[in-house]
């Protein structure tokens, strides 16, 4: 399976599980992105890799009835879930499209803002994506993307990877490490024609109440792709062993989930 098909497959699989309390950093991130980007009433926003639409909803609220959000994702099931979420809260100024964020099919110079929350690092050619986003932004328009820092999800993620290795599944280097440092984010923005690149970091983490909440997080987002590589007959044993190791990390506050996040902004030259 090619990379994009594999990613689409994983997100199609998790779309119904995605909006759950163990992954509440996604809506936290959406609120921060809208604030950091200073999204204003009346603006036209493109939300790339919208997932279940958290940023699209927050942006739609900020731009009001005079503005409009175009929200795109490769996964049809994530888009369907996003549309349901938008319908549920009665927001009407968002249009969803199943579309590749590397090649958004919009005219030149149409958007005031492009948002992309934890999505850019999934794209095999991040530079091509950024160049295409520059094309569809208005001169002076702004981009904001979020990415995980290297500490995000550790130490649980290291234990997960080690446990998988015991079953001869050797996980690839996490994709987000490509954007896990300020310099990496600034460089890729500037190399692809953006100016005034700035990076802010924030800890969006929290304590999970129970070890099983970590299991829910694994099952409901990108890590699901690695778990799916385990043969069925090993899955129950894997779960018991993995969660017994995770249990040792719990304190009287619960299980800390590190979600250190970088927010990168830049402008298209006038
Ligand atoms: C970790 S989720 C983030 C979703 C959402 N932005 C959020 O923060 O809640 C990553 C999303 O990127 C989407 N994605 C990955 N590669 C993509 C691509 N080339 N074009 C569009 N969407 C893509 C996936 O389908 C998935 O919905």
> Using one digit for the tens of pLDDT, what is the confidence trace for 20-48?
999 999 999 999 999 999 999 999 999 99
> Using one digit for the tens of pLDDT, what is the confidence trace for 121-175?
999 999 999 999 999 999 999 999 999 999 999 999 999 999 999 999 988 889 9
Query: Is residue 155 situated within a structural domain?
Result: no
For a mutational test of ligand 1's pocket, the pick from 30, 32, 73, i.e. the residue with the most ligand atoms closer than 8 A to its C-beta, is 73
Q: Tell how far the Cα of 96 is from the centroid of ligand 1, in angstroms.
A: 13
Phi, psi of 94 (to 5 degrees): -130, 135
Q: Tell how far the Cα of 127 is from the centroid of ligand 1, in angstroms.
A: 16
Rounded CA gap, 64 and 149, in Å?
32
Query: Is residue 99 situated within a structural domain?
Result: yes
Query: Is residue 118 situated within a structural domain?
Result: yes
Query: What is the Cα 29 distance to its own chain's centre?
Result: 9
Atom of ligand 1 nearest to the CA of 123: 19
The C-alpha angle with vertex 46 and arms to 3 and 194, in degrees rounded to 5, equals 80
Query: Is residue 40 situated within a structural domain?
Result: yes
Provide, rounded to the nearest whole percent, the portion of the chain with pLDDT above 70: 100
Q: Tell how far the Cα of 13 is from the centroid of ligand 1, in angstroms.
A: 13
Q: Tell how far the Cα of 14 is from the centroid of ligand 1, in angstroms.
A: 12
DSSP E strands in the chain: the ranges are: 44-48, 68-73, 94-98, 111-117, 137-148, 195-203, 206-208, 255-257, 260-267
Query: Is residue 51 situated within a structural domain?
Result: yes
- Print the domain residue range for 139: 3-149+175-206+261-267
Query: Is residue 227 situated within a structural domain?
Result: no
Region 82-111: what's the mean pLDDT?
A: 97
CATH of the domain at 23: 3.40.50.150
Instruction: Report which protein residue has its CA nearest ligand 1's atom 27.
Output: 51
pTM of the model: 0.97
Q: Tell how far the Cα of 17 is from the centroid of ligand 1, in angstroms.
A: 15
Q: Kindly state the tokens that stand for 241.
A: 């062993």
Asked if residue 1 has pLDDT above 70, the reply is: no
Provide, rounded to the nearest whole percent, the portion of the chain with pLDDT above 90: 96
Residues with CB under 6 A from ligand 1: 4, 7, 11, 26, 29, 49-51, 54-55, 72-75, 78, 100-102, 117-119, 122-123, 221-222
Rounded CA gap, 257 and 114, in Å?
28
Query: Is residue 49 situated within a structural domain?
Result: yes
Structural domain total, the chain: 1
Question: Cis peptide leading into 155, omega within 30 of 0?
Answer: yes
First to last CA, the chain: 41
Query: Is residue 219 situated within a structural domain?
Result: no
Q: Tell how far the Cα of 49 is from the centroid of ligand 1, in angstroms.
A: 4
Atom of ligand 1 nearest to the CA of 10: 25
Q: Kindly state the tokens that stand for 182.
A: 């300020």
Q: Tell how far the Cα of 121 is from the centroid of ligand 1, in angstroms.
A: 9
């Amino acid at each position: 399976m090619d990379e994009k098909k594999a990613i689409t497959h994983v997100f199609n699989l998790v779309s119904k599980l995605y909006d759950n309390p163990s992954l509440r950093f996604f809506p936290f991130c959406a609120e921060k992105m809208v604030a950091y980007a200073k999204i204003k009433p009346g603006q036209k926003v493109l939300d790339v890799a919208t997932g279940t639409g958290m940023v699209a909803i927050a942006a739609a609220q900020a731009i009001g009835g005079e503005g409009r959000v175009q929200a795109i994702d490769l996964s049809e099931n994530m888009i369907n879930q996003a549309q349901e979420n938008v319908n549920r809260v009665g927001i009407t100024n968002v249009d969803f499209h199943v579309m590749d964020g590397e090649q958004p099919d919009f005219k030149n110079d149409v958007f005031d803002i492009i948002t992309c929350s934890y999505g850019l690092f999934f794209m095999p050619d991040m530079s091509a994506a950024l160049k295409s986003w520059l094309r569809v932004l208005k001169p002076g328009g702004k981009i904001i993307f979020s990415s995980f820092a290297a500490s995000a999800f550790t130490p649980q993620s290291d234990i997960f990877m080690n446990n998988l290795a015991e079953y001869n599944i050797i996980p690839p280097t996490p994709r987000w490490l490509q954007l896990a440092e300020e310099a990496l984010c600034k460089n890729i923005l500037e190399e692809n024609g953006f100016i005034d690149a700035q990076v802010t970091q924030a800890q969006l983490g929290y304590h999970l109440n129970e070890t099983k909440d970590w299991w829910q997080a694994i099952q409901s987002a990108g890590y699901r792709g690695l778990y799916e590589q385990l043969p069925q007959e090993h899955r129950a044993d894997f779960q018991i062993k993995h969660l017994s190791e995770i249990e040792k990390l719990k304190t009287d506050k619960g299980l800390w989930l590190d979600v250190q996040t970088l927010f990168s902004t830049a402008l298209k030259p006038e």
